[in-house]
């Protein structure tokens, strides 16, 4: 890993603001999720706008003006077709560069890292920009208090380059998994080929994101704990070797359960969910950039990443933090 950056839309939405239109309260949201506020993109701001902001900062941080491939992990592409990555690459001055999207909902960034690492190992690319970017607010049912309070918008990005397995920044191994039998637990029912929108109005609420919160909570804890343990095993690390757990920011209580399951003290979890909510595929790279900028992540420290999302999907990897500027 050779560079990191992030981008948040300027509008901050507090719990109190949501409580003015939904039957909820700041106290409920804080105590059940750990979230205090989130950022929402203004109408007219698309996922690619945030992705370009984060990608430009990651490129600058890496000292590389261009890369050989651009991967965008997102649940909220600018359009159903084409993918968002090519326009992001073009706007970053990389017309002609390989660019594609990865769709694994909140696990998308870890899947994106794995495919980027694969491109490098296969010598298809020497440097890859991996961006997680979301305007998740565009999927939320404004009347659904169980989802509206959780998600936020944002983007984070990293640059990967080829290197040795022993230098700071070395990434991997990976653990990835899925269980499509849990498809209905996290879903936007309408708009794809299963429930088509062409010429037919979606059934009420079915164009919005829906989630079975309690079931998702249990699956998230189980899968992230299992995946994190598997990747630690593959890396030959013990829980005690991990300086920081940067997990998908789904719910503070989920992160604490995962840390406990792995055998890590809570103090080793980096959390920014209070400030940004759950930003889906953007969550881990946004957290990495904030932890780096705040001086929490220091060179050569050992970092464990784990994520869980719709699909169901999950994935984990490890890295040693590189020496990067903090400008
Ligand atoms: N404000 C106030 N009350 C709310 C509420 C809100 N925003 N959302 C739900 N409630 C109510 C429910 O209606 C329910 O009321 P009832 O007891 O009268 O039926 C009560 O709170 C408990 O609901 P429940 O769903 O059991 O709450 P919970 O403690 O499981 O918390 C979530 C709900 C969504 C916060 C929690 O399940 C969660 O975080 N799930 C995982 C979500 C997630 O991480 N998704 C992304 C994964 S990638």
Q: What is the mean pLDDT of residues 172-195?
A: 94
Strand order in the sheet with 313-320: 171-178, 313-320, 302-309, 244-247
pLDDT at 34: 98
Question: 7, 39, 106, 251: which one is catalytic?
Answer: 106
Cβ within 8 Å of residue 199, ≥6 positions away: none
Q: What is the mean pLDDT of residues 239-267?
A: 97
pLDDT at residue 196 greater than cutoff 90: no
Distance 38 CA to ligand 1 centre (A): 17
- Give the count of alpha carbons within 13 A of 43, CB side only: 0
- Does the annotation count 278 as an active-site position? yes
pLDDT at 284: 98
- Does the annotation count 106 as an active-site position? yes
> Residue 308: which pLDDT band, with cuts at 50, 70 and 90?
very high
pLDDT at 201: 75
- Give the count of alpha carbons within 13 A of 102, CB side only: 26
Enumerate domains of the chain plus CATH numbers.
3-161 (3.40.47.10), 170-321 (3.40.47.10)
Q: What is the mean pLDDT of residues 303-311?
A: 98
Ligand 1 neighbour 213 (Cβ under 6 A): yes
In 63-185, alpha helices (H): 85-91, 108-121, 145-148
pLDDT at residue 202 greater than cutoff 80: no
- Whole-number average pLDDT of the chain: 96
Q: What is the mean pLDDT of residues 315-319?
A: 98
What is the H or E stretch that residue 275 is in?
A: helix 273-276
Question: 248, 257, 271, 292: which one is catalytic?
Answer: 248
pLDDT at residue 239 greater than cutoff 90: yes
The string of pLDDT tens digits covering residues 83-116 is 999 999 999 999 999 999 999 999 999 999 999 9
- Does the annotation count 39 as an active-site position? no
> Residue 71: which pLDDT band, with cuts at 50, 70 and 90?
very high
Question: pTM for this structure?
Answer: 0.96
pLDDT at 193: 86
């Amino acid at each position: 890993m050779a560079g990191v950056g992030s981008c948040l839309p300027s509008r901050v939405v507090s719990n109190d603001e949501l409580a003015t239109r939904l039957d909820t309260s700041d106290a409920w949201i804080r105590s059940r999720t750990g979230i205090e506020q989130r950022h929402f993109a203004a109408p007219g701001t698309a996922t690619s706008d945030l992705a370009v902001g984060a990608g430009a900062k990651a490129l600058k941080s890496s000292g590389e003006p261009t890369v050989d491939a651009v991967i965008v992990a997102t649940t909220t592409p600018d359009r159903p077709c084409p993918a968002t990555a090519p326009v992001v690459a073009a706007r970053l001055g990389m017309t002609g560069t390989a660019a594609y999207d990865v769709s694994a909902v909140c696990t998308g960034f870890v899947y994106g890292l794995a495919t980027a690492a694969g491109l490098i190992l296969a010598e298809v690319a020497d440097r890859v920009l991996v961006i997680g970017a979301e305007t998740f607010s565009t999927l939320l049912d404004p009347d659904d208090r169980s989802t509206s309070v959780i998600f936020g918008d944002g983007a984070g990005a990293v640059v990967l380059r080829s290197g040795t397995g022993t230098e700071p920044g070395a990434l991997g191994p990976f653990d990835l998994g899925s269980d499509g039998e849990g498809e209905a637990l996290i879903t936007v029912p309408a708009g794809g080929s299963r429930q088509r929108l062409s010429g037919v109005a979606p059934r009420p609420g079915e164009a919005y994101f829906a989630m079975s919160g309690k079931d998702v909570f249990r699956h998230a804890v189980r899968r992230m704990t299992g995946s994190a343990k598997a990747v630690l095993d593959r890396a030959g690390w013990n829980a005690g070797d991990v300086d920081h757990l940067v997990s998908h920011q789904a719910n503070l209580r989920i992160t604490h359960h995962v840390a406990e399951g792995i055998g890590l003290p809570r103090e080793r979890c980096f959390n920014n969910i209070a400030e940004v909510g759950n930003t889906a595929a953007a969550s881990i790279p946004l957290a990495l950039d904030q932890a780096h900028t705040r001086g929490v992540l220091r060179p050569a420290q050992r970092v464990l990443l784990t994520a869980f999302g719709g699909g169901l999907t999950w994935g984990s990897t490890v890295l040693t933090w590189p020496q990067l500027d903090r400008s």
